C-alpha cells in the first residue's frame, strides 16, 4: 500500500540527524570539546558520570557566546564558521556545519552557561528535547560550560545499544585523547565520577604531548618522522619493530589537526612494516599530516572522521616512504641492532617452555623427528607405534576430527611449515595446529585455576606498564577477574599498572606484552557482553597471547608434552575461537588424488 509523501516534523528530523552525530556519550564529548577548541580555549575540563550515560559536562575558558546568539546555538545549520559553499574547503575549524548542538539537544537535556570576557554578565539557556525552555542572565567566569543529561530520554530504544559504563568511559577518554594529541598548547583534564582519570598540562609541542599521553613504553621505542613533499608536510612518531600491538587502536592519524580514519594512510603505514614485524601485529603511531585546505575534502562523513585527498597517491607514497626510511635508519644505527630489518627468523621454543621440561634434550636442540628410537624413548606407548604393530581397524576414518582428539595408533611424522604437526595412521593423515592446540590447553588451565585457589608466581622485579587513560578504564573493570586467575596487577597513578605476579598456568610469558595485548583485546568488543562473556573473552585472550606461536620449532619432547596435555584437555577439538585444532585426510581421499579410486 502506497502512502502519501509528507514533510517530517522538525522534532523527527532533528532526531534522525542526531542518529548520525550522536551515537554514544563519546560522540557528545567529541563535539563539545571540539567547540571549546574552536572557541580558543586554553583550558578544557570534562566531567562525566556513569561513563557519560548519566551526565556530561564540558567547561572552557574560551571566547564565549554573545547573548543574542545563544538561541541560534541550537538551530540546525546555524554556524559562525562558514558563509558560502567554498568556505567548507578552507574550514580550519572543527564544527563548521552547525548540526552538532541541534542534534545533541534533540535527544538530551542541555544546560548552556556562557559569557564573553567583555560582558559583565553571562547567559543561561535550558533546552529539553530540542526546545528552548528558558534563556536568562547568569553570573560566571568568561568561557562556556555545557551540561548534558537525560541522554536518549525521548528515544529509549537507543539506550539499549549503549555498552558497559567502563566501555563508554573508555570511548569518552579516547575522544579527549585524540584532541589532546593534536592540540598540545591546550590543557585538558577529565574527571569520571568525581575522580581524576586524565590530565594533560599545556605542552611545548607535539613531542611532549605524545610522550605525556602515549607513555614511557612508546617513547622508549619510537622513531621520529619529519618529511615534506611538494605542499604536504608529514610529522610524527612511529614505534620500532621491537614494540608492537595486537591491534591498530594505537595508531593515531591526523590531517590538519583533525583525527581521521583513513584506509589509504593506514595501509601505507602498515605496508612499511610488512616485512619487519610479526604477522597480525601492528605498530603504534601518531602521524600529523598538514596540507592546504583545498587539497582535502573533510565533509564526506557526518562525524567528519573520514576525508578525501585530491592527491591520494602522493599522500600514500609520502607516508609509506617516510616510515620505511625511518625504519631503515634504525637498522643502520649501531644503537638499533634490536630493530634490524633482516628477514624474520623462525621463533624457537625457549627451554622449559613446556611443563614437561624433562623431555627436552640436554643440548636444547630439536631432536630428529624421524629418529624412531628417540621418539619411542621420549613418548613411548601407542602414540608413535608403527602402523601394523597394533590391532588397528581397517575402516576409513571420518574426514573431520572426532569430538575428542586422541593419539592412539598414530605415528608422528614430523612438523610441516613450522606450524602443523603431522600424524599418520592406517586410516589416513592428521594435521594438528600447534598454536590452536596449546591455546585450548592454556584456556582450560586458566578456567581450572579460576575455580580453585589460583597459583601465582611473584615477579622478582615488578614491571610497570604504561597505558592510555582509555585502556586504564577498561583494565580497572577487569582487575578482580585477573586476580582470580593469578595475574596480580596494581594501579600505579593515572596511566600505569604494576605487574606483581603472573599466573603459574602461563609460564615464560613476557608480562609487559601480555598486559598490553590484554587491554588491546578488551577494547575490541563490539557488543555489550555479560560478565560471563567478558570473563571468557579475557581468559581466551590470555591463552592466545601465551600459547606457542606458529613457526616455532618443536622437539620430540615438546610434541610429546603437547599431545599428552591435549588428550587430558576437555573440548580439545577446537581452539577458544571455534576453529578446528586438527584436520584429517582419509586414506580414501588420498588414494583418489592419486587416481587409485
Name the average pLDDT for the chain.
Answer: 79
Cβ atoms of residues 580 and 401 within 8 Å? yes
The reported pLDDT for the residue numbered 372 is 38
Cell numbers 509528507: residue: 6
- Residue 528 pLDDT more than 80? no
Closest CA relative to residue 378, chosen from 354, 402, 401: 354
Q: For the chain, where do the domains classified as CATH 3.30.565.10 start and end? A: 10-200
pLDDT of 350 > 50? The answer is no
Q: Is the pLDDT of residue 1 over 70?
A: no
CA-CA-CA-CA dihedral for 84, 90, 94, 95, to nearest 10: 0
User: What is the average pLDDT across 287-307?
Assistant: 74
Q: Is residue 71 within 8 Å of residue 78, measured between CB atoms?
A: no
Looking at residue 376, what is its pLDDT? 40
Could you tell me if 21 and 110 are in contact, meaning their C-beta atoms sit under 8 angstroms apart? no
Domain at 454-546: CATH code: 3.30.1370.100
- Computed from CA positions of residues 175, 177, 180, 182, in that sequence, does the dihedral angle turn out positive or negative? negative
Which distant-in-sequence residues (6+ apart) come within 8 Å of 112 by Cβ? 65, 70, 73, 123, 124, 125, 126, 127, 144, 145, 146
Report the share of the chain in percent with pLDDT over 70.
77
> What length does the chain have?
597
What DSSP designation does 275 have? T
Cα dist. 503→182, 486, 489, 545 in Å?
Answer: 39, 4, 11, 13
Judged on CB neighbours under 10 Å (0-12, 13-18, 19+), 360 is buried
pLDDT higher than threshold 90 for residue 323: yes
Indicate whether 398 pLDDT > 70. Answer: no
Confidence band for 263, pLDDT divided at 50, 70 and 90: confident
Q: Which CATH architecture has domain 206-339?
A: 2-Layer Sandwich (3.30)
- Examine the pLDDT at 370 and tell me if it is beyond 90: no
Cell of 132: 528552548
Cβ atoms 374, 556 nearer than 8 A: yes
pLDDT value at residue 365: 40
**Pick from 20, 188, 195, 32: which is nearest to 101 by CA?**
32
- For residue 449, what are the CA distances in angstroms to 130, 445, 454, 465, 564? 53, 6, 5, 24, 19
Question: Which whole number is the average pLDDT over 286-291?
Answer: 94
- Start and end residues for every CATH 3.30.1370.100 domain found in the chain: 454-546
The whole-number average pLDDT for the span 378-401 is 40
Beta bridge mates, 414: 422
Any idea which architecture 10-200 has in CATH? 2-Layer Sandwich (3.30)
| pTM of the predicted model as reported, rounded to 2 decimal places | 0.72
Out of 434-443, 481-490, 516-525, least confident range: 516-525
Give the C-alpha separation, 172 to 46, whole Å. 10
User: pLDDT tens for residues 78-109?
Assistant: 666 555 555 555 555 555 445 788 889 888 99
The answer to which of 300-304, 517-521, 543-547, 581-585 has the lowest mean pLDDT is 300-304
Q: Which fold, 357-437+551-593? A: formyl-coa transferase, domain 3 (3.30.1540)
Helix (H, G, I), strand (E, B) or coil at 199: strand
pLDDT digits (tens, 9 = 90+) for 265-276: 999 999 999 878
Out of 24-38, 274-288, 385-399, 465-479, the most confident range is 24-38
For residue 37, which phi and psi values (nearest 5 degrees)? -65, -45
Within 10 A of 42 (CB to CB), how many other CB atoms are there? 14
Mean pLDDT of 48-69: 94
Is residue 117 a contact partner of residue 32, using CB atoms and an 8 Å limit? no
What letter does residue 459 receive in the DSSP assignment? E
Cell digits for 113? 552557561
pLDDT at 547 over 80: yes
Asked if the model's pLDDT at residue 123 lies above 80, the reply is: yes
Band of residue 131 on the pLDDT scale cut at 50, 70, 90? confident
> Residue 319: which H helix or E strand, with range?
helix 312-332
**142 burial level (CB within 10 Å; 0-12, 13-18, 19+):** middle
Cell 634490536 belongs to residue = 338
Residues of the chain with CATH 3.30.230.10: 206-339
Place of cell 562558514: 82
pLDDT band at 6 (very low <50, low <70, confident <90, very high): low
Chain-centroid distance of CA 182 in Å reads 20
Cell triple for 554: 618443536
User: CATH 3.30.1540.20 in the chain, residues?
Assistant: 357-437+551-593
The pLDDT of residue 169 is above 80:
yes
Query: What distances in angstroms separate CA 115 from CA 195, 250, 366, one per listed residue?
Result: 27, 38, 74
- Find all residues with CB under 8 Å of 335, minimum gap 6, and list them: none
Amino acid at each position: 500500500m502506497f502512502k502519501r509523501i509528507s514533510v517530517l516534523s522538525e522534532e523527527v528530523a532533528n532526531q534522525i540527524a542526531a542518529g548520525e552525530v550522536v551515537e554514544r556519550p563519546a560522540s557528545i564529548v567529541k563535539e563539545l570539546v571540539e567547540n571549546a577548541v574552536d572557541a580558543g580555549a586554553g583550558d578544557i575540563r570534562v566531567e562525566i558520570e556513569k561513563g557519560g550515560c548519566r551526565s556530561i559536562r564540558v567547561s572552557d575558558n574560551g571566547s564565549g557566546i554573545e547573548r543574542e546568539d545563544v538561541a541560534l546555538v541550537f538551530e540546525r545549520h546555524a554556524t559562525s564558521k562558514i558563509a558560502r559553499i567554498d568556505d567548507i574547503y578552507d574550514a580550519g575549524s572543527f564544527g563548521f556545519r552547525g548540526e552538532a548542538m541541534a542534534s545533541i539537544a534533540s535527544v538530551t537535556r542541555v544546560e548552556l552557561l556562557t559569557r564573553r570576557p567583555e560582558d559583565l554578565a553571562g547567559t543561561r539557556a535550558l533546552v529539553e528535547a530540542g526546545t528552548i525552555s528558558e534563556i536568562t542572565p547568569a553570573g560566571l567566569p568568561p568561557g562556556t560550560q555545557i551540561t548534558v543529561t537525560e541522554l536518549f530520554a525521548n528515544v529509549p530504544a537507543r539506550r539499549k545499544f549503549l555498552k558497559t559504563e567502563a566501555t563508554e568511559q573508555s570511548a569518552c577518554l579516547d575522544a579527549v585523547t585524540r584532541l589532546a594529541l593534536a592540540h598540545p598548547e591546550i590543557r585538558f583534564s577529565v574527571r569520571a565520577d568525581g575522580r581524576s582519570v586524565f590530565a594533560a598540562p599545556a605542552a611545548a609541542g607535539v613531542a611532549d604531548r605524545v610522550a605525556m599521553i602515549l607513555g614511557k613504553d612508546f617513547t622508549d621505542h619510537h622513531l621520529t618522522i619529519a618529511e615534506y613533499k611538494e605542499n604536504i608536510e608529514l610529522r610524527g612518531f612511529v614505534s620500532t619493530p621491537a614494540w608492537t600491538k595486537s591491534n591498530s587502536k594505537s595508531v593515531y592519524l591526523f590531517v590538519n589537526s583533525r583525527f581521521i580514519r583513513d584506509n589509504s594512510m593506514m595501509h601505507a603505514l602498515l605496508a612499511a612494516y610488512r616485512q619487519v614485524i610479526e604477522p597480525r601485529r601492528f605498530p603504534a603511531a601518531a602521524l600529523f599530516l598538514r596540507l592546504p585546505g583545498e587539497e582535502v575534502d573533510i565533509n564526506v562523513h557526518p562525524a567528519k572522521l573520514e576525508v578525501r585527498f585530491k592527491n591520494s597517491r602522493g599522500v600514500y607514497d609520502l607516508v609509506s616512504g617516510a616510515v620505511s626510511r625511518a625504519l631503515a635508519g634504525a637498522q643502520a644505527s649501531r644503537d638499533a641492532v634490536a630493530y634490524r630489518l633482516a628477514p624474520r627468523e623462525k621463533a624457537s621454543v625457549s627451554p622449559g617452555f613446556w611443563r614437561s621440561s624433562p623431555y627436552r634434550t640436554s643440548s636444547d636442540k630439536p631432536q630428529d623427528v624421524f629418529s624412531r628410537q628417540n621418539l619411542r624413548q621420549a613418548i613411548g606407548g601407542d602414540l608413535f607405534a608403527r602402523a601394523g604393530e597394533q590391532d588397528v581397524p581397517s575402516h576409513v576414518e571420518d574426514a573431520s576430527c572426532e569430538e575428542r582428539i586422541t593419539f592412539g595408533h598414530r605415528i608422528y611424522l614430523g612438523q610441516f611449515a613450522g606450524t602443523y604437526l603431522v600424524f599418520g595412521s592406517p586410516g589416513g593423515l592428521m594435521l594438528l595446529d600447534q598454536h590452536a592446540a596449546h591455546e585450548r590447553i592454556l584456556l582450560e588451565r586458566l578456567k581450572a585455576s579460576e575455580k580453585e585457589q589460583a597459583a601465582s608466581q611473584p615477579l622478582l622485579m615488578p614491571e610497570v606498564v604504561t597505558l592510555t587513560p582509555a585502556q586504564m578504564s577498561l583494565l580497572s573493570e577487569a582487575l578482580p577477574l585477573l586476580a582470580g586467575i593469578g595475574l596480580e596487577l596494581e594501579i600505579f597513578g593515572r596511566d600505569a599498572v604494576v605487574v606483581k605476579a603472573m599466573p603459574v598456568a602461563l609460564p615464560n610469558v613476557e608480562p609487559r606484552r601480555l598486559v598490553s595485548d590484554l587491554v588491546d583485546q578488551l577494547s575490541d568488543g563490539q557488543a555489550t557482553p555479560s560478565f560471563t562473556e567478558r570473563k571468557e573473552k579475557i581468559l581466551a585472550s590470555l591463552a592466545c597471547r601465551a600459547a606457542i606461536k606458529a613457526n616455532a620449532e618443536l622437539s620430540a619432547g615438546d610434541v610429546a608434552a603437547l599431545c599428552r596435555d591435549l588428550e587430558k584437555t576437555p573440548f580439545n577439538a577446537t581452539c577458544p575461537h571455534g576453529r578446528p585444532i586438527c584436520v584429517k585426510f582419509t586414506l580414501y581421499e588420498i588414494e583418489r588424488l592419486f587416481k587409485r579410486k
